[in-house]
């Protein structure tokens, strides 16, 4: 079933947080570093004009700063058109915002770019770049943005394989040297309840273990159309192909794994787990699993138990539980309890904010003031690596080690980006794709 056409404009924005530990606030030498014009307009380019990209562009335009969207890039023209229509609508109130943002959208025909090279052309026009394609492309697009001296908002995950994570980490160093702000769309870091819980994490003592869940029914499917090349089909149905998506453990469960890394203040050293496909058996279900269960180990021996499942009719739960020597943090319920169940802190949920909007409010305010304040990249890349390591553990059934994987250079990306090129996985004569088999699939 194709659910994409049913997406309302409200969801464009709804699909829309990380102060990486300490916040750096270093005034920049000159506004000329990031303002390309003489006025104070902050020019934005959108790369990936789908649901999230449209929402993020709206949020950028809804900040208090003088923002203009000046260029759009997408692999497909129809995605630019639907995004542009939503952004220039007379009334965007169904997104939760009031009025419209038409006067902030300045994207004439000659600044709408399509195809695999479109990103380069759009990025050239901007001070700030929004990167919201499927995550497989993120390392390439991020590298271009930073090399060209742009500030970045980029969605999670930031890669789909160890080579991609490494490229993003290397590029993060350049971003730091150039003092370019980077916000990664792990929006719980920008969400009031999570920030309040984080600031009180000492109430639970030392963190000894954690649980993380992303269990629900699953996501959209874009069925194959008769006239598509294999490359176009996979790009349209990207969720089901690892080079584009990373599997749902990477694409969605990253949010929960990232929260645990954040509270723990570190990353994992090894992982082992199990997973498979119980219900994802159709031709349009590509190669990803529908469930994973992974035991992640931190260097100090504490363990993160993670489960993610996309199976309709099963228990839904998207949450994190962090367990310490003196108590527990229940992230979803936004409270902290001791081991007898006594509530030590309860966040007032009436004070909850829209973290998607907060990401942009904070990023654009820093840019307007000439501050270097956000360097989310390293955290975004390492939480992506956590999830990639989880997938490689469930696919292989072997213990995966962080350092070995990160140094492995393993890439699952295509060598050539062209509509007629063959992607790295292709279907057999029955239209089925090869599926990873624990015990058989090997990475080393
Ligand atoms: N933080 C969150 O809560 C949240 C929510 C939703 C989506 N996201 C993230 O946003 C990203 C996009 O998700 P989405 O739901 O918007 O998907 P989508 O399919 O609606 O949009 C992706 C767009 O990117 C385009 N695209 C693909 N390859 C491209 C390329 N090489 N160059 C230019 N454009 C290209 C596609 O044609 C499509 O229009 C994903 O990484 C996803 O995980 C994050």
For residues 103 and 112, give the distance between their C-alpha atoms in angstroms, rounded to a whole number.
Answer: 17
pLDDT digits (tens, 9 = 90+) for 17-60: 222 233 334 334 333 344 445 579 999 999 999 999 999 999 99
CA torsion sign for 19, 24, 27, 31 is negative
DSSP symbol at 189: G
Diameter over CA atoms, the chain: 64
Question: Which atom, in ligand 1's list, is nearest to the CA of 187?
Answer: 1
Q: Is residue 79 within 6 Å of ligand 1 at its C-beta?
A: yes
Alpha-carbon distance of 129 to 147, in angstroms, equals: 12
What number does the ligand 1 atom closest to the CA of 52 have? Answer: 16
- Give residue-wise pLDDT tens across range 106-136: 999 999 999 999 999 999 999 999 999 999 9
pLDDT per residue, tens digit, the chain (444 aa), is: 333 333 333 332 333 222 223 333 433 433 334 444 557 999 999 999 999 999 999 999 999 999 999 999 999 999 999 999 999 999 988 788 888 999 999 999 999 999 999 999 999 999 999 999 999 999 999 999 999 999 999 999 999 999 999 999 999 999 999 999 999 999 999 999 999 999 999 999 999 999 999 999 999 999 999 999 999 999 999 999 999 999 999 999 999 999 999 999 999 999 999 999 999 999 999 999 999 999 999 999 999 999 999 999 999 999 999 999 999 999 999 999 999 999 999 999 999 999 999 999 999 999 999 999 999 999 999 999 999 999 999 999 999 999 999 999 999 999 999 999 999 999 999 999 999 999 999 998
Tell which one of 80, 155, 218 to mutate to probe ligand 1, the residue whose CB is within 8 A of the most ligand atoms.
155
For atom 40 of ligand 1, the residue with the nearest CA is 134
Mutate which of 119, 121, 123, 133 to test ligand 1's pocket (most atoms within 8 Å of Cβ)?
133
Give the number of the atom of ligand 1 that is nearest the alpha carbon of residue 140: 31
pTM: 0.93
Other CB atoms within 10 A of residue 419 CB: 13
Specify the 3-state DSSP secondary structure of 267: coil
| Joined tokens for residue 43 | 């020019």
b (16+ CB within 10 A) / e for 105-116: bebeeebbbbeb
Q: Is residue 139 within 6 Å of ligand 1 at its C-beta?
A: no
């Amino acid at each position: 079933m194709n659910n994409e056409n049913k997406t309302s404009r409200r969801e464009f924005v709804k699909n829309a947080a990380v102060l990486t530990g300490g916040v750096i606030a270093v005034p920049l030498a000159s506004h000329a570093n990031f303002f390309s014009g003489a006025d104070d307009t902050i020019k934005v380019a959108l790369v990936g004009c789908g649901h999230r990209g449209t929402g993020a562009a709206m949020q950028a335009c809804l900040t208090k700063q003088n923002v203009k969207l000046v260029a759009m890039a997408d692999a497909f023209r129809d995605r630019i058109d639907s995004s542009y229509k939503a952004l220039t609508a007379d009334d965007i109130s169904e997104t939760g915002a009031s009025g419209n943002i038409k006067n902030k959208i300045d994207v004439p025909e000659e600044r709408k770019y399509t195809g695999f090279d479109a990103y380069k052309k759009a990025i050239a026009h901007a001070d700030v770049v929004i990167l919201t394609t499927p995550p497989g492309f993120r390392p390439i697009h991020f590298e271009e943005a930073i090399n060209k001296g742009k500030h970045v908002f980029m969605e999670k995950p930031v890669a789909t394989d160890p080579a991609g994570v490494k490229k993003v980490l290397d590029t993060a160093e350049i971003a730091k040297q150039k003092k370019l702000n980077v916000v990664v769309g792990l929006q719980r870091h920008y969400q009031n309840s999570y920030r309040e819980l984080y600031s009180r994490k000492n109430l639970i003592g030392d963190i000894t273990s954690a649980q993380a869940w992303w269990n629900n029914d699953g996501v959209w499917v874009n069925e194959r159309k008769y006239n598509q090349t294999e490359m176009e089909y996979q790009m349209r149905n990207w969720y089901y192909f690892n080079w584009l998506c990373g599997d749902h453990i990477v694409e969605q469960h990253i949010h929960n794994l990232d929260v645990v890394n954040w509270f723990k203040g570190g990353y994992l050293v090894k992982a082992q787990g199990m997973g498979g496909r119980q219900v994802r058996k159709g031709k349009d279900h590509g190669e990803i699993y529908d469930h994973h269960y992974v035991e992640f180990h931190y260097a100090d021996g504490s363990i993160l138990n993670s489960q993610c499942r996309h199976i309709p009719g099963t228990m839904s739960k998207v949450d994190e539980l962090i367990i310490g020597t003196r108590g527990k943090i229940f992230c979803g319920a936004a409270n902290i309890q001791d081991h007898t169940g006594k509530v030590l802190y309860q966040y007032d949920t009436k004070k909850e904010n829209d973290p998607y909007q907060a990401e942009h409010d904070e990023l654009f305010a820093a840019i307007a003031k000439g501050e270097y304040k956000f360097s989310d990249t390293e955290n975004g890349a390492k939480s992506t690596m956590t999830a990639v390591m989880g997938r490689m553990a469930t696919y292989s059934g072997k213990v995966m080690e962080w350092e070995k994987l990160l140094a492995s250079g393993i890439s699952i990306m295509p060598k050539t980006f062209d509509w007629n090129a063959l992607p790295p996985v292709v279907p057999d004569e029955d239209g089925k794709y090869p599926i990873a088999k624990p015990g058989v699939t090997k990475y080393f």
